A and B are shown apart, each in its own frame.
Chain A
Amino acid sequence: MTIPMVFILLSIIFVVLRVMPGDPVSSMLGGHAPDSVIEEKKEQLGLNRPLPIQYVEYLVQICRLDLGDSMVFNERVTKSIADKLPATIELTIFGSIITLVLGVFMGAYAADKRRQPQDYLIRFYGIVIYCIPVYWMGLMLQLIFGIWLDVLPIAGRTGPRVFASMFEKTGFYIVDTILVRDFSALADVLVHLILPSVTLGLVLSGVFVRLTRANMLEVLKADYIIAAEARGIRHRKIVYKHALKNAFIPVLTMMGLQFALLLAGAILTETTFSWPGMGRLLLERIYLRDYPTIQGIIIVFVLIVAMVSLLVDIIYAIIDPRIRY
């Protein structure tokens, strides 16, 4: 993602937000506030100035790396984002691990068993799982594991008796609980991660099954694989070590591109599992028309997407020795 692209996105979001009916002041004040107070607040927040001026000021503010204050609550935007970001990151990391493990292994297996029933089954799984809305998958898992079998918690980051304020430092609960060595709290945090990350991981694994399978098919046809077979190296080792390693590089690139999909999935997963992350924050603030916070969240999303593609490039260079920057 390039700088001009970020700029264009921000401009689009700016325009969309200002065209939306409603404004942050009326959502903040109760029905009793007299018009004079409302006008005063609008003046104070700069909402009465012409849009082009607001736009330029907004861009200047962004360039100074300042996300500003919320227009609805007495809160810095950076603070409300910092409160919610770790939850989303924890969820997406675990979700993508599950996606990768499931997707890559199933894809490799399918390629190995090409044109056999296992292959068809896995490909069918790929299509079906991709088409299941992530929130419905979440609800069904909640119903089965949370209500019927009653083995897993269905929502939130911790149970009601584990108090985050007792251990919270970084906001990443796994790290925090390890830092204070509260292992029962850690176990609770991990148990709460299971259903949301499995949901997110399962739904996105479909894409990776297909990708890995397609790449594996290419790689398995390559000369060096055939040569390895001829040399009598164990078939399983060839497929899952040599071939998979080579097929993995394009998959990883796709992972970078699919990260936007992962974030979108995370928003829906967060809503279903009451996960206190960025997605829920975004929805809540859209309802309140809290312009600075919405813009701040979008910027953070854009930054994450950009950072992931950078990260993918770096990993790419490490895995594939032919690439040098």
Chain B
Amino acid sequence: MKFWKLLIYCAIVLTLALFPIQGFAKSDTLVYGTTEKVTDMDPAHAYDFHTWEIFYNIYQGLLTYPAGKTDLAPGLAENYFISVDGKEYTFELRKGLKFSDGTPFDASAVKWSVDRVIALKGDPSWLVTEFVDRVDVVDKYTVKFVLKNPVAYFPSLVASVPYYPVNPNIYPVDKIIRDPSEMKGGKLVGLGPYVVRSFKRDQEIILEANPNYFGPRPKTKRIVIRYFADATTMRLALEKGEIDLAFKTLNPSDISDLEKSNKINTIKAQGPYIRYLCFRCVGPPFDDKILRQAVAAAINRPPLIQKVYLGQNAPLYSMVPMGMWSHTDAFKTVHGDGNIAKVKKLLASKGYNEGNKLAFDLWYTPSHYGDTEVDLAAVLKNQLEATGVMKVSIKSAEWATYKDNWKNKLMSAFLLGWYPDYIDPDNYTAAFGQTAGSRGMGIFFSDPVWDKKLTEGQTLADMQKRTAIYKEVQQMWTVDVPTVPIYQGILYVFTQKSVGGVLLSPTLRFNYDPIYKD
């Protein structure tokens, strides 16, 4: 009887299922779960937080941020000198370094890699092309960057991924690499503490300690990065002890449950990730800065964060994030939170009142920033309408359309988020307040005074003068309000109790080598 056969097969399957799954992972292996995705395994084209994080661990910059620190330290370069005019940076490289396949590392690899990034015109290439005129090999262990203009924060740029030297023998000159299998030799060869042992897109990446690494040996021999398609599964896997560590991005409800759990360690740090509301500063209604100020005063950050993120982010009152030098709580002192009296006064001066409400569209994008975004839009709408003098309609568009929309000036007010490209206040201000950057973000704010001030901040080398400039810029922000800061992200890492050595820093770097497992 076929039916009985089927039943027997089912029984076999069930018995198999009852066998305990033998843990593949041993104690020298740490399984790290994430819901992020790897894009291109190529410093010339990758431009996302998670792929960069892997690069931090398999490559090295000339300068680098040590785990958990915000100050630059020597990396592949032991030392550097700046010319008097501030336009030439000369780096002296460490001698005797080898890529993980044994190829010696020297100045020509640096030049080759940076030239390749310039030539390929990949997504992050502007981080090089905007600033660097050319790269010269001075001698075998000395390399010189000649800049187009003096750039005060060039050292932090050099620490970013597009400047990372790669092995000329394995990356093709004229093609962007997506999977390591496309490389010459089919394997990624790096300079960092770890090497890629196996790579399976959207499933897992297995990293092993690099025997040729010049620094101290990583504490854990093998790291497996396990890619989860959703946060729920990752949370359950962590609770069941199937993964050792979870980082980015759990749902607010999962975070608050895990924080309470006494079987799980929570490591928390201020992130450099900020969210804000942008205005299109040309055309009605928001070409009028008074209206922009009114919206800024209407937003009430703490309850918003409590509702949408169960209190897991920090209210932000400036575009320069907390923890970065020159940060001030400018918006808090000038506009406050949910300041309805002020909103009414500002709008009344422009002829808006309960009978004649200020009506506008508020745009959000439903999946790019996670599925909490729709809640964020709903809460903002409620807060703005609670003033009694605004009428908000919510509109949404998928990311591809969203970008087109802002270029085509279709959105009067829209929500965006920012991960820094390099760690400097300039990256949080000029991108929105300077004419060129502002146009690229769909804000179209332009003011010669601002442009001059921000250019000064970019070129001056004196820290004290720069701090003063950015403090002033933050004050100017509360008057002209091209954007309204809303919150700053908090980073959460959850680990099993046996895991230690997790160091988070506001630079968003996450180094794997200090992590250990008892």
Contact = CB atoms under 8 A, between A and B. Distances in A.
Interface centre among A21, A161, A191 (most CB of B within 10 A): A161
Interface string A183-207: 1111110110000000000000000
B233 A31 contact: no
B16 A165 contact: no
A183 B243 CA distance: 21
A162 B440 CA distance: 44
Nearest to B399: A27
A161 B24 contact: yes
B400 A27 contact: yes
A289 interface: yes
Interface string B215-258: 00000000010101110110011000011000000000000000
Interface in B349-379: 367
Given A29-B123, A156-B233, A280-B229, A184 B224 contact: no
A163 interface: yes
Given A26-B407, A164-B203, A191-B17, A32 B126 contact: yes
Contact of A274 (B224, B230, B404, B405): B230
A40 B242 CA distance: 47
B40 interface: yes
Interface stretch (B72-80, B194-202, B468-476): B194-202
B407 to A, nearest CB: 7
Given A26-B404, A30-B124, A163-B24, A276 B31 contact: no
B22 interface: yes
A108 to B, nearest CB: 12
A161 B16 contact: no
Interface in B179-225: 198-204, 206, 224
B397 interface: yes
Nearest to A142: B232
A24 interface: yes
A165 B203 contact: yes
B19 interface: yes
Contact of A101 (B6, B24, B203): B6
B33 interface: yes
B21 interface: yes
A187 B17 contact: yes
Interface string A1-36: 000000000000000000011111011111111100
A183 B19 contact: yes
A183 B16 contact: yes
A161 B21 contact: yes
A104 to B, nearest CB: 11
A163 B229 contact: no
Contacts of B21: 159, 161-162, 184-185, 187-188
Nearest to A274: B229
B328 to A, nearest CB: 26
Nearest to A288: B400
B306 interface: no
A159 B241 CA distance: 11
Contacts of B243: 160
B479 interface: no
A162 B24 contact: yes
B176 interface: yes
A166 interface: yes
Interface string B112-131: 00000000010110100000
B23 interface: yes
A90 interface: no
B55 interface: no
B505 to A, nearest CB: 23
B178 interface: yes
Interface string B1-28: 0000010000001001111111111000
A116 interface: no
Given A27-B403, A155-B229, A165-B204, A74 B17 contact: no
A184 B39 CA distance: 31
A57 interface: no
A68 interface: no
Interface string B32-59: 0100000110000101000000000000
A83 interface: yes
Nearest to A25: B400
A273 to B, nearest CB: 9
Given A27-B403, A184-B19, A37 B121 contact: yes
Interface centre among A28, A34, A159 (most CB of B within 10 A): A159
Given A22-B403, A74-B40, A190-B17, A159 B242 contact: yes
B333 interface: no
A229 interface: no
Contacts of A74: 40, 45, 175-178
B47 A30 contact: yes
A154 to B, nearest CB: 6
B440 A22 contact: no
Interface string B124-151: 1010000000000000000000000000
Interface in B396-422: 397-405, 407
B503 interface: no
Contacts of B403: 22, 26-27, 31
B419 to A, nearest CB: 10
A185 B198 CA distance: 18
B441 interface: yes
Interface in A256-289: 274, 276, 280, 287-289
A106 B362 CA distance: 52
Interface in A58-97: 73-75, 83
Contact of A166 (B24, B201, B233): B24
Interface centre among A74, A75, A186 (most CB of B within 10 A): A74
A313 interface: no
A289 B402 CA distance: 12
A28 B122 CA distance: 10
Interface centre among A24, A156, A160, A163 (most CB of B within 10 A): A160
Contacts of B13: 190
Contact of B206 (A28, A154, A165): A165
A148 B43 CA distance: 45
B404 A23 contact: yes
Contacts of A75: 178
26 contacts: A20-B401, A21-B397, A21-B401, A21-B405, A26-B407, A32-B126, A74-B45, A154-B232, A155-B232, A159-B237, A160-B33, A160-B228, A161-B21, A161-B24, A163-B204, A163-B224, A165-B200, A165-B204, A166-B198, A183-B16, A184-B21, A186-B16, A187-B16, A274-B228, A274-B229, A287-B367
Given A83-B201, A161-B24, A183-B16, 16 more contacts: A20-B401, A22-B397, A22-B402, A22-B403, A26-B400, A30-B123, A154-B232, A156-B229, A159-B242, A160-B226, A160-B237, A164-B204, A190-B16, A276-B229, A287-B367, A288-B400
Which 7 residue pairs across A and B have the least CB separation, nearest first?
A27-B400, A274-B229, A22-B400, A22-B401, A165-B200, A155-B233, A187-B16
